[in-house]
Amino acid sequence: MPQAFRLLPVLLASLCLTAAPANESKPDMKDQPKLEKAMFGAGCFWGVEYQYEKIPGVVDAVSGYAGGHVLNPGYREVCEGDTGHAEVIQVVFDPAKVSYRTLVEYFFRMHDPTQVNRQGPDHGEQYRSVIFAYSEAQRKVAEEVKAALEKSKAFRAPIATRIEGEKVFWKAEEYHQDYYARKGTKPYCHTVPFAPEKK
């Protein structure tokens, strides 16, 4: 028998000894939460972001722009009103802890959805009330919540909120992120009095 074949069992045994143990712990992907995204425009994004970040089950809320025709817009461009973009919040959430329906209900209660292109002292198309649904399922839920509120006459005027399909999200400049948290102040026109805060 050639020498190379005689050494083969020894080589295989040494490879088995250096291989990782079969019971070595590996990350279990089943344990990782399946996160989802939502996008809301309810006036100035500072206040909307502040309120959503307080909700248990929300992993992150990021200020940005969506719904317009300008690529990678900046704050000044959006404020000039020619981009078609709205100030929005992209919410990342764990659906096992908070449902999309609950997030939509918070949306309708944290601002005045009857206002057209306005929230408090802020006015312009960028401050419109809008929900950008990431799926048909999200769109259906948003429409159901809106219809229920209209039927119950929860507001004195008709709801002006637009419900649209998914749009590209453009993250706003860093100085807009966590604005109220960094300033140590609270929003002037966004409130969620019934929202349980994260511990």
Give the tens place of pLDDT for each residue, 86-96.
Answer: 999 999 999 99
Q: Are strands 86-93 and 122-123 parallel, antiparallel or unpaired?
A: unpaired
Domain assignments of the chain as residue spans, ordered by start: 32-178
DSSP state of 40: E
pTM: 0.79
**76 Cβ contact list (under 8 Å, min separation 6):** none
* The pLDDT of residue 13: 44
Question: For the chain, what's the residue count?
Answer: 199
Region 32-178: CATH code: 3.30.1060.10
pLDDT of residue 188: 60
Please state, for a pLDDT cut of 70, what percent of the chain lies above it.
75
Query: What are the angstrom distances between the C-alpha of 176 and each of 53, 72, 172, 191?
Result: 14, 15, 6, 19
Q: Are 113 and 157 within 8 A, CB to CB?
A: no
b/e sequence 152-178, b meaning 16+ C-beta within 10 Å: eeeeeeebbbbbbeebebbebeeebbb
Which positions are annotated as active-site residues? 44
97: left (phi over 0), alpha (psi -120 to 50) or beta: alpha
